[in-house]
Amino acid sequence: FREQLAAARLGDPLDEETQLGPLARPDLRDELHRQVQDSMALGAKCRLGGKIPAGKGAFYPPTLLTEVGPGMPAYHEELFGPVAAVIRANDEEHAIRLANDSSFG
């Protein structure tokens, strides 16, 4: 999974080779980055991405967070961007409880 995320090509959405274009606005990119950084400050591990790339455009790289848990933005908030938050479950029943522990359903 990590390798597939790492291979995603950022770029101009009009370029056929582009797999991931920019977010709609810089403020949305900045909010996503805040969510990632705040989650990391609370113990999430960034395994890929997590940094705003240099250059023009509201780009954010594919980002992989692990060890995400309660109290972190990546756990409780919607992430409107290319961020995968990995939340571990002990078993299927626990996974269902975790999935339902959200105001988003």
Phi, psi of 65 (to 5 degrees): -110, 135
- What is the pTM (predicted TM-score) of this model? 0.91
**All domains in the chain, ordered by first residue:** 2-100 (3.40.309.10)
Q: Which residues of the chain have pLDDT under 50?
A: none
Spatial strand order of the sheet with 45-48 comes to 45-48, 63-66, 83-85
- Backbone conformation region of residue 50, classed left if phi is above 0, alpha if psi is from -120 to 50, else beta: left
pLDDT of residue 103: 78
